[in-house]
Structure 1
């Protein structure tokens, strides 16, 4: 019997100063990979340090969650950034996180764009190649976590970077296999039972259902649960238990 293995990742470290978004420590007891905000959409040096230390203590892989420079908009506003500048900003964010990862006894294991940048590089080849160039400048072999079939994964492969497909358990899909824009009704899923079912279906069968009811195939090695989804810790616990009951091994991809 072939063993089914899936990674469970979450966006963490998204507080700033006195402001906190979710219970990062609790989430780090449930996920296997942490997408850590690097200071451009959220996060500050002390938060980065704490997340890295806790991740190492829990055996969780550390990933750089890179973004447009947009603290006020939480990295979810569309921005126009020249390619060379964007590449430098990607490298800068990875480097900042790497300092704290190494101090904690680990290293940055992968990179994933956040928010508006993530959505932009699904189709925008120029921005995708800038992101890939920035990652390669920081580290020539860092895996790139992203949407299957995206321009980012094409750019990463051309840059000689490994790619890892991910799927989302708390976001609605279009019939084309892309994410429904956050501003649209039904884009964010909060029903725990539905999220758990989706996680098992994606992990075991590579399938989900689009918002309009169309079956969608999504072959992924990692499942994402957003840290800012209401009740994220409870949802992560439900997903983890559902996967284990379905005899899916939850294990980091790197």
Structure 2
């Protein structure tokens, strides 16, 4: 199978003395890192340390903005005016750019977090508002989108550099959105299952939903969540399964969709 795929993980999600996930281990596995910007998780010191480690490992740096919801980890839906939402994205991207520059790196891409991402996956106008805000201060930014959703449609309309993402550890609904975390089977914890399903999706060029439906889509990157107990084991197995299947690992290029 002569093609390449990027592996990304959400990280930098600790806060003060509280750590979350094994970012150091994940940085040896992934090719791109989505780093929390301090509002749903993370803080200035966590951002600085994560950026520094990503630069040292040669991993692509991404801003990972979410709602200002530390207590809910950015997973609670919020209804914000368009201008407020856009300023929220700009604020977090600006912080990420500053911390990356201080670490000798550069923010290469942007990926929305949690409820903000889920809402944008359902609402193209919201997705476009978020992406326009980010591109207004970083026109060359690669926008990472949930493949097959309204996010991808918004990025297509904008004609911006884009990376289409699928999830290794999440189940899918038949509209390509993620199964709600509160439902049984929404989160996949078995590394072998995660590895096998990623090989199948990349091979078929399609999202495979919980019902077995195939949704054809471009796939540029696979998300490996860092905040679950089996995160490193899943990431390791997904990487191995892809390589064993002849799929090369490399950062995404960001071609328009």
Q: Same fold (TM over 0.5)?
A: yes
| CA distance in 2: counterparts of 1:176 and 1:154, whole angstroms | 13
| CA distance in 2: counterparts of 1:192 and 1:180, whole angstroms | 19
Q: TM-score, normalised by structure 2?
A: 0.93
Q: 5+ unaligned residues in a row in structure 1: which ranges?
A: none
- Listed as ranges, the matches of 1:209-228 within 5 Å are 209-228=208-227
| CA distance in 1: counterparts of 2:128 and 2:96, whole angstroms | 22
Q: Could you tell which deviates more after superposition, 122-131 or 203-212?
A: 203-212
Query: Which residue number corresponds to residue 4 of structure 2?
Result: 5
Taking only aligned residues, the RMSD between alpha carbons, in angstroms, comes to 1.5
Contact 1:83–1:126 (CA<8 Å) still a contact in 2?
A: no
Query: Which residue number corresponds to residue 45 of structure 1?
Result: 44
Query: Which residue number corresponds to residue 67 of structure 2?
Result: 68
**Structure 1 residue 23 corresponds to structure 2 residue 48:** no
Per the TM alignment, residue 212 of structure 1 is displaced from its structure 2 partner at its CA by 2.2
**Structure 1 residue 177 corresponds to structure 2 residue 188:** no
Contact 2:128–2:155 (CA<8 Å) still a contact in 1?
A: yes
Q: Could you tell which deviates more after superposition, 233-242 or 22-31?
A: 233-242
Q: TM-score, normalised by structure 1?
A: 0.94
Contact 1:48–1:100 (CA<8 Å) still a contact in 2?
A: yes
Per the TM alignment, residue 200 of structure 1 is displaced from its structure 2 partner at its CA by 1.2
Contact 2:166–2:207 (CA<8 Å) still a contact in 1?
A: no
Contact 2:13–2:41 (CA<8 Å) still a contact in 1?
A: yes
Per the TM alignment, residue 130 of structure 1 is displaced from its structure 2 partner at its CA by 1.7
**Structure 1 residue 78 corresponds to structure 2 residue 77:** yes
Q: 5+ unaligned residues in a row in structure 2: which ranges?
A: none
- Listed as ranges, the matches of 1:185-224 within 5 Å are 185-224=184-223
**Counterpart of 1:113 in 2: which secondary structure?**
coil
The alpha-carbon distance between structure 1 residues 242 and 149, as it changes in their structure 2 partners (threshold 3 A), is closer
Contact 1:177–1:217 (CA<8 Å) still a contact in 2?
A: no
| CA distance in 2: counterparts of 1:252 and 1:202, whole angstroms | 18
Per the TM alignment, residue 208 of structure 1 is displaced from its structure 2 partner at its CA by 4.6
Contact 1:4–1:203 (CA<8 Å) still a contact in 2?
A: no
